[in-house]
Amino acid sequence: MKLFIAALLSLLAGLAQANEAVIRKAIAERIPDFPKIDEIRPTPIPGLFEVRIGLDIFYSDPTGQYLLQDAQLVDLRTRANLTQARIDQLSQVNFASLPLKDAMVWKRGNGQRKIAVFSDPNCGFCKRLERTLQELNHVTVYTFLIPILGPDSNEKSRNVWCAKDSVDVWLDWMLRAKQPEKVTGKCDESAIQRNRAFARQHRMTGTPAILFEDGSRAPGALDLQALEERLKRAEGREGKGG
């Protein structure tokens, strides 16, 4: 029986590889400027294959003749959105891999819970999130500056990062609209460039982007209840080894 199962799994794997090659060839021939495909793999639906480009998910038949774009694959038994679950899995970032030396850090209470935020100083939703973060207890917040909204964001980020107390200047601006003082002279602002590179690498195209200890992430200005729920969920997963 074990030999039969092993042979069946081997056959299925071979078929999947054959389908992958067919799909790649067909899409390349029919859409020559189609972006580079990162991965093709079977879905729970027989004959339907996931075609992944970065975090973008498409679906194809085994011949590559039909391509579903902007589709959501839902398991109606559990009501689980399998497409979103896959995107969430792919977008995870190992919290331990974060370059914390390139972040501004503040904490409240015992600071036991940790959260990282990639933020632009001119982002309205970032300011809303910053106000909500002040309501959290027993948290350490790492803020990574990624100026993506234009030249003024670049200047403000430099003035914040290069200030004597960058956290105070940042909070003064985000919470109280107190303009950061212009920093003249030399300043090592390479951390900002590294932050932007890190954000591009992990396809963070908007701000704020929030990362939790379990590797999950969320876009946008979550409200207090949503933040607390995600922090509790992250604590539970992290406690189980991720």
Say which range, 5-14, 20-29, 73-82, 117-126, has the weakest mean pLDDT.
5-14
Beta bridge partners of 177: none
Checking if the pLDDT of 199 tops 50, the result is yes
Rounded CA-CA distance 93/204 in Å is: 11
**121 and 161 in contact (C-beta within 8 Å)?**
no
Alpha-helical regions (H) of the chain? 2-30, 82-90, 124-133, 151-161, 166-176, 190-201, 224-239
Rounded CA-CA distance 138/156 in Å is: 29
Checking if the pLDDT of 15 tops 90, the result is no
Checking if the pLDDT of 152 tops 60, the result is yes
Checking if the pLDDT of 179 tops 80, the result is yes
34-77 pLDDT, tens digit per residue, is: 999 999 999 999 999 999 998 889 999 999 999 999 999 999 99
The pLDDT score that the predictor gives to residue 237 is 61
Enter the tokens of residue 102: 């390139």
Rounded CA-CA distance 102/69 in Å is: 37
**What is the CA angle 178-182-184, rounded to 5?**
160
226 burial level (CB within 10 Å; 0-12, 13-18, 19+): middle
| Residue 170 CB-half CA count within 13 A | 25
The pLDDT score that the predictor gives to residue 240 is 47
Rounded CA-CA distance 124/221 in Å is: 9
Read off the pTM.
0.74
The pLDDT score that the predictor gives to residue 184 is 85
Residue 160 backbone phi and psi in degrees, to 5: -75, -55
**161 and 191 in contact (C-beta within 8 Å)?**
yes
Which segment, 14-23, 156-165, 197-206, is predicted with the most confidence on average? 156-165
